[in-house]
């Protein structure tokens, strides 16, 4: 008789665990229009809030008259700073240690700052009432240029800080100065530069950009006055943190606050912080005793919620004549806008910018960062990156190309000469980080071989000759980038939010039938958490992924967690999930030994259960063990099969990648065509290759948008001139290039499953690859560094500067 029992491979395939390109479980509801977003929420007696916003970037508020608005039928209340002051809610703390005005009282500091909050029966009445609020302003001088913020004659922006010489991060040296942060060995870096055979110095600016999630920020606050309980639904990337902040601000005890993040249509860092709309909705609901909904429009999102970047990096590199880098020195001028509301949970005001040594073995380095106030919207979020890592990667990768040009050396070969070698890991950088693992040279060589790098350079040489002869008006550029990201925020020694350590959590319960529910402290905004966490558990516990449910975003049910941003979900929560599953597996082994009447040490794990060593026919599956956990456990053991883990990682993780971009620039129009883009990523252990592929495609598309056109731009009086998608570049399928992807696998030695994270990496590596390609197109001409974004106008101007226009 034939044995019909499944083979080992069939049992493993049935789990759909780690390494399987399993279809996303969450997609079933999204593609059928069954997602549950904040604006879908409809509660009895719900009212709607809308803001009166300042048309000025800097102005004193002389008078606010709300009488006409309050008299409009359907308007229930109009809040101003005067209503918030008695309950001390006119200002709120920021994640960076500053305070931010909830509603402007004495003066406004950026265009579209919140001045009053109208609450009405529907959003149309609220919008009409906003137009009826009369605000008398006295126009004040504006500071838009961060390089002029600390001029002797610059106006005082933050009058609430006037006279304060100390800030949250040390001494302030000007009334518009926020902090200075230094790290590294300045003497060693100066010595390397002073003795360098070759050195470069370049101002490398990373323009102000915006994450622009598909769904704007929104919340619904509902105060139950009978029970004294507040429930808030919102677009929160970190629901537990919002609950803690709400408790601190409102005085309501934390156990009586319920924060729920339903489906979120994209976050990219934009939904980490707390916005005035959240606070005003909560206050309105407490005062009126009914639910209040606030949903911002696209212009509000682009102009008033948190921006990213706006880093201006003066970069110096020292090297030998043969291309060995000996030192790095960077000074950053960081524009934080009107308030330091940087969504940065690290213990440093410039986040992880000290990863600026990149993937290179640089023996001496020093970084100094000065933060300043300007009349722009506040923020500083990790737009699809860890905290200031994208700025750091762009800085070093552009500087490497500038150095390669000065050395007349191929930029790929210069990188190969300076990359950290495999035998140097774990590698301690000159700025203090311990890189966990990597094989950089293998990755770089693999990409160069895949694209036929020498042939591309020969083609470029021939095209340049043809251009000189007038046979073509196209310039060919080849952009090389090699990046190391730092993710997994992370270790409590490095990161916290309002004093709360940056651990994360997972609670797993195995039911009697072998089905599983797992609850986590993170919150997906499209990353596929429901799929990947389930796959980790499937592999660890031998239970099929389709028998596992994942829940996030509800502070009533999930263990306390610090949320999802900076590619921390897999490095931190994925680890918590694996460790919680291993706790369950350890108990399951005791139960299996009891059932099989052997010692624990006589058992070994076999895909989906335990078997007796040497007697493979004697087994107990996890499904059988789960049933026994509720009726037949060893004497003295508690019934049930569940565990919780709070994971505080011992170190960050360091994914890396090698990217090559090939572009063609039309010298007469400035139009740039991306002919080819090849991206190799190493994120350690790969949980779901299909989801990784999707994450890389999405991140590269955002990198393309940033490098080739995105910028939040202001005129000299502080008016935002890129406040709609007509003016702010958001790539569609028409403009987006075709992506070629590849990978190597270098597991993290300290992570329970060796995973490093990948969601942010393509944005980190993609931006310098695009910029290097455009700059390389002009590389044979007498023209310096071309600043981003590389839209048609700027690229045309670069061609004009190079003398290419007749």
User: Known catalytic residue: 568?
Assistant: no
User: Do the Cβ atoms of 703 and 95 come closer than 8 Å?
Assistant: no
By the 10 Å C-beta count (0-12 exposed, 13-18 middle, 19+ buried), 663 is classed as: buried
- What the block records as the tokens of 118 is 């109208």
Instruction: Determine phi and psi for 213, rounding to 5 degrees.
Output: -65, 155
Radius of gyration (Cα) for the chain, nearest Å?
Answer: 28
User: Known catalytic residue: 136?
Assistant: no
Please tell me which residue in 24, 172, 208, 384 is annotated as part of the active site. Answer: 384
Using DSSP bridges, classify how beta strands 427-428 and 496-497 pair: parallel, antiparallel or unpaired.
Answer: unpaired
Q: What string of DSSP letters covers 666-682?
A: ETTT--EEEEEEEEEEE
Q: What is the pLDDT of residues 730-741, one digit of tens each?
A: 999 999 999 999
Residue identified by tokens 């808030």 is: 232
Residue identified by tokens 């994270």 is: 757
pLDDT at residue 137, as a whole number: 98
Average pLDDT, the chain: 95
**Alpha carbon separation from 449 to 28, 453, 456, 681 (Å, rounded):** 39, 6, 11, 15
User: Known catalytic residue: 237?
Assistant: yes
Please tell me which residue in 20, 342, 385, 395 is annotated as part of the active site. Answer: 385
pLDDT of 806 over the 80 cut: no
Using DSSP bridges, classify how beta strands 107-108 and 114-120 pair: parallel, antiparallel or unpaired.
Answer: unpaired
pLDDT of 3 over the 80 cut: no
pLDDT at residue 490, as a whole number: 78
pLDDT at residue 1, as a whole number: 42
Spatial distance between the Cα atoms of 373 and 343, rounded to a whole number of angstroms:
16
Q: What is the pLDDT of residues 521-574, one digit of tens each?
A: 999 998 999 999 999 999 999 999 999 999 999 999 999 999 988 888 999 999
163: confidence class by pLDDT, cuts 50, 70, 90: confident
Q: What is the pLDDT of residues 63-111, one digit of tens each?
A: 999 999 999 999 999 999 999 999 899 999 998 889 999 999 999 999 9
- Above pLDDT 90, what percent of the chain? 91
Give the number of other CB atoms < 10 A from CB of residue 461: 12
Range 486-507 average pLDDT: 88
Please tell me which residue in 485, 519, 760, 794 is annotated as part of the active site. Answer: 760
Instruction: Determine phi and psi for 129, rounding to 5 degrees.
Output: -65, -35
pTM reported for the whole predicted model: 0.96
pLDDT at residue 89, as a whole number: 92
Cβ within 8 Å of residue 725, ≥6 positions away: 212, 298
- What the block records as the tokens of 44 is 């009895």
What three-state secondary structure class fits 476?
strand
Range 257-279 average pLDDT: 94
User: Known catalytic residue: 215?
Assistant: no
2: confidence class by pLDDT, cuts 50, 70, 90: low
Q: What is the pLDDT of residues 323-371, one digit of tens each?
A: 999 999 999 999 999 999 998 888 899 999 999 999 999 999 999 999 9
- What the block records as the tokens of 739 is 């992506």
């Amino acid at each position: 008789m034939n044995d019909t029992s499944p083979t080992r491979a069939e049992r493993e395939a049935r789990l759909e665990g780690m390494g399987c390109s399993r279809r996303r479980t969450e997609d079933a509801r999204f593609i059928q229009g069954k997602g549950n977003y904040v604006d879908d929420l409809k509660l009895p007696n719900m009212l709607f809030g809308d803001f009166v916003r300042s048309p000025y970037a800097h102005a004193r508020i002389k008078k606010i008259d709300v009488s006409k608005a309050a008299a409009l039928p359907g308007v229930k209340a109009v809040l101003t700073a005067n209503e918030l002051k008695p309950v001390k809610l006119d200002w709120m703390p920021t994640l960076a240690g500053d305070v931010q005005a909830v509603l402007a009282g004495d003066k406004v500091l950026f265009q579209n700052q919140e001045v009053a909050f109208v609450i009405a029966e529907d959003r149309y009445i609220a919008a009409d009432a906003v137009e009826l609020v009369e605000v008398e302003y006295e126009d004040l001088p504006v500071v838009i240029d961060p390089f002029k913020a600390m001029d002797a004659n610059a106006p005082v922006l933050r009058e609430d800080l006037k006279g304060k010489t100390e800030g949250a991060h040390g001494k302030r040296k000007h009334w518009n100065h926020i902090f200075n942060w230094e790290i590294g060995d300045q003497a060693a870096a100066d010595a390397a530069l002073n003795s360098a055979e070759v050195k470069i110095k370049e101002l490398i600016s990373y323009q102000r950009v915006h994450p622009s999630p598909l769904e704007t920020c929104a919340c619904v606050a509902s105060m139950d006055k009978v029970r004294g309980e507040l429930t808030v639904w919102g677009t929160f990337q970190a629901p537990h943190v919002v609950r803690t902040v709400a408790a601190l601000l409102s005085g309501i005890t934390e156990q009586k606050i319920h924060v729920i993040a339903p489906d979120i249509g994209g976050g990219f860092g934009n939904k980490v912080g707390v916005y005035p709309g959240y606070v005003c909705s909560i206050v309105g609901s407490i005062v009126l005793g009914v639910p209040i909904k606030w949903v911002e429009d696209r212009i509000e999102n682009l102009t008033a919620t948190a921006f990213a970047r706006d880093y201006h990096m003066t970069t110096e590199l020292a090297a030998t004549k043969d291309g060995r880098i000996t030192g790095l020195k960077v000074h950053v001028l960081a524009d934080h806008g009107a308030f330091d509301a940087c969504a940065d949970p690290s213990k440093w005001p410039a986040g992880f910018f000290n990863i600026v040594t990149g993937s290179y073995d640089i023996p001496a380095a020093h970084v100094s960062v000065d933060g300043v106030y300007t009349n722009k919207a506040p923020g500083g979020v990790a737009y699809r990156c860890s905290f200031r890592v994208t700025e750091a990667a762009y800085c070093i990768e552009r500087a490497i190309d500038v150095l390669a040009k000065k050395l007349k050396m191929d930029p790929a070969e210069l990188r190969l000469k300076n990359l950290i070698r495999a035998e140097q890991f774990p590698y301690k950088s000159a700025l203090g980080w311990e890189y966990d693992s990597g094989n950089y040279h293998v990755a770089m060589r693999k990409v160069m071989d895949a694209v036929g790098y020498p042939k591309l350079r020969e083609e470029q040489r021939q095209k340049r000759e043809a251009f000189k002869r007038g046979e073509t008006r196209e310039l060919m550029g080849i952009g090389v980038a090699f990046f190391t990201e730092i993710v997994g925020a992370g270790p409590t020694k490095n990161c916290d939010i309002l004093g709360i350590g940056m651990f994360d959590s997972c609670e797993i319960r195995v039911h009697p039938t072998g089905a599983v529910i797992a609850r986590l402290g993170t919150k997906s905004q499209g990353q596929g958490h429901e799929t990947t966490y389930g796959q980790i558990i499937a592999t660890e516990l031998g239970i099929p992924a389709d028998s596992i449910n994942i829940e996030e975003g509800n502070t009533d049910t999930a263990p306390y967690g610090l949320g999802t941003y900076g590619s921390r979900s897999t490095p931190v929560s994925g680890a918590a999930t694996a460790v919680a599953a291993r706790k369950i597996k350890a108990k399951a082994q005791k139960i299996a030994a009891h059932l099989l009447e052997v010692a624990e040490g006589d058992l070994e794990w076999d895909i989906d259960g335990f078997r007796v060593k040497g007697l493979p026919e004697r087994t107990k599956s996890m499904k059988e063990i789960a049933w026994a956990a509720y009726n037949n456990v060893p004497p003295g053991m508690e019934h049930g099969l569940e565990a919780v883990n709070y994971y505080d990682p011992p170190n960050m993780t360091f994914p890396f990648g090698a990217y090559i971009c090939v572009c063609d620039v039309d010298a007469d129009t400035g139009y740039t065509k991306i002919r080819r883009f090849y991206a190799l990523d190493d994120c350690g252990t790969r949980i779901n290759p299909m989801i990784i592929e999707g994450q890389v495609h999405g991140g590269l598309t955002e990198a393309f948008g940033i490098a080739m056109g995105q910028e939040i731009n202001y005129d000299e009086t502080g008016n935002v001139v890129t406040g709609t998608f007509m003016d702010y570049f958001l790539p569609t399928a028409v403009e987006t290039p075709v992506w070629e992807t590849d990978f190597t696998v270098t597991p993290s030695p300290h992570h329970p499953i060796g995973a490093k994270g990948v969601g942010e990496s393509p944005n980190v590596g993609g931006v310098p690859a695009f910029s290097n390609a455009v700059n390389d197109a002009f590389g044979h001409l007498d023209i310096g560094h071309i600043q981003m974004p590389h839209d048609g106008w700027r690229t045309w101007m670069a061609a004009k500067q190079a003398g290419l226009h007749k």
